[in-house]
A and B are shown apart, each in its own frame.
Chain A
């Protein structure tokens, strides 16, 4: 679905944001991109959306090169919720904001209405339907950008730091939404520093450092590699850390607290 072939990108100030990045993401995969601030995560995302074009190398979305495809055409396939929602909210009301892209993509009025209703309910924003997006809190704005994107049902959904400003109930809902998208066959890319949020989702994890990909694999394997995580300034999930200190076996670590408890209690019964 997404393929980066030896992509290099240099910012105007001379900083190499992407340095020979190759990455292939299949349709239906859920991929988390992690790494230190300034590692190139957001730059990578902007290449997938076609907002940035590679200085060298190529980016393919659904087989088409972003260098020769219009950003508008890519956006029908790739929906992205950026880190700062203020960069993508501009309508006078929340419902207008949601309807805007749908109308642009030529959805029928009845369908626009249905999708707006669906999105507002999914993200608990019904009460703000008539309000200006500007009066929403930071967390609510982020949820609105997400609702807008999911409404037009793109094949690829990219979320850049989606948990910022979200309480634990919203985070749980967000994790459920990601799982739902994944089971609906969507390709989901999540850029996040929030390792504790990512861990229960068990995504494929791509670790970036200084414009390069330094690690790529299933969360269960990759999150056990302390050396790799340290070098990319990523902290191990608490449950992985607990698991590693309890057992030296390279089995799958606990994905949630209940699993940890069951394991520990089993140990108490059969010493």
Chain B
């Protein structure tokens, strides 16, 4: 399958900074993959995301090197208007992207801005609301909703644009554990049903590692690790880059060294308990 996102030798330095925020960065993401981006704070994740959605270099100027392509087209040569349709961005705090009087109007906001014809807009808004199970909220005021619902409304607005690539910036950090798990399940479902490609920045990996295809770790602007979540989390250096290795994976890793449990795949607490003969004591 063709790559939806191609980053080749990307470097970027902000004008007031002495070091490059992103340095010689390469990344290819095929359609339908879920890629998680991790790394210590200040490692360049936000700048990389800006280079994908076009804020770098269109809004933030600086020393730009290398190339970023979304759907085969260079971000640098695309207009923000064009990029807005191809790259969806879900902010950490949905409050930052919800502001209309009704849910329906909010989901339609991006499409209205692009001047999409009325009928087409109706179809796409209904479809997005149905996908996220918020059709019954269509006439509600967004500020009256729970945080989990707001997150869904914001994501519906993103999906209504039918982007090729969706970026999620710490999507679960403000959600309660159950709501966070539901959002991760939703991401997995959207990938399965629509073939949507996701790039997710997240520190809380306990939920995401089960659905992600790949984990990329950044440090000081560079890519320092890349592989399946299992491969990256099993390497000792992951923790030195501030990657939160889930507690259950830490146990699995230690037991795997002693060959007490399988070394392939990441196990849940239930799977691990079963593998060591749970309930016997």
Contact = CB atoms under 8 A, between A and B. Distances in A.
Contact of A137 (B41, B147, B177): B41
B176 A193 contact: yes
Given A137-B42, A166-B41, A168-B242, A235 B272 contact: no
Most chain B C-beta atoms within 10 Å of own C-beta, residue among A137, A171, A194: A194
Given A83-B174, A139-B42, A245-B274, 12 more contacts: A37-B148, A139-B41, A165-B92, A168-B244, A193-B175, A193-B180, A233-B176, A235-B178, A238-B246, A239-B251, A246-B278, A257-B251
Contact of A193 (B174, B255, B270, B278): B174
Interface in A207-266: 230, 233-235, 237-239, 241-242, 245-249, 256-258, 260-261, 264-265
Nearest to B95: A84
A256 B250 CA distance: 9
A245 B41 contact: no
B251 A261 contact: yes
Contacts of B27: none
A239 B247 contact: yes
27 contacts: A36-B178, A37-B147, A37-B174, A37-B179, A38-B146, A138-B92, A161-B174, A164-B170, A164-B174, A165-B92, A165-B203, A168-B245, A170-B242, A193-B177, A194-B204, A196-B204, A196-B244, A196-B246, A230-B178, A237-B247, A241-B269, A245-B273, A246-B279, A257-B250, A257-B254, A261-B255, A265-B260
Contacts of B273: 242, 245-246
A270 B279 CA distance: 15
B278 A245 contact: yes
Contacts of B178: 36, 230, 233-235
Interface string A58-77: 00000000000000000000
A268 B275 CA distance: 13
A235 B177 contact: yes
Nearest to B204: A194
A233 B170 CA distance: 20
B40 to A, nearest CB: 4
A134 B121 CA distance: 38
Interface of B: 38-42, 46, 92-93, 144, 146-148, 170, 173-181, 203-204, 206, 239, 242-248, 250-251, 254-255, 258, 260, 269-270, 272-274, 276, 278-281
Interface string A30-47: 000001111100000000
A48 to B, nearest CB: 21
A165 B244 CA distance: 12
A166 B247 contact: no
B279 A247 contact: yes
Most chain B C-beta atoms within 10 Å of own C-beta, residue among A138, A163, A195, A246: A246
Given A238-B248, A257-B247, A247 B176 contact: no
A267 interface: yes
A82 to B, nearest CB: 13
Given A239-B248, A246-B279, A167 B242 contact: yes
Given A35-B176, A36-B176, A166 B146 contact: no
Contact of A167 (B148, B203, B280): B203
Interface string A162-185: 011111111100000000000000
Contacts of B258: 265
Contacts, number: 142
A97 B144 CA distance: 34
Interface residues of A, number: 50
A265 B256 CA distance: 12
A268 B177 contact: no
A168 B203 contact: yes
A245 B147 contact: no
Contacts of B269: 238-239, 241-242, 245
A15 to B, nearest CB: 9
A124 to B, nearest CB: 9
A63 B246 CA distance: 42
Contacts of B272: 242
Given A235-B181, A264-B260, A268-B260, A167 B39 contact: yes
A95 interface: no
Contacts of B180: 193
Contacts of B204: 194, 196
A13 interface: yes
Contact of A233 (B93, B177, B276): B177
A37 B244 contact: no
B242 A242 contact: no
Contacts of B276: 246, 264, 267
A155 interface: no
Nearest to B239: A168
Contacts of B281: 246-247, 249, 267
A3 interface: no
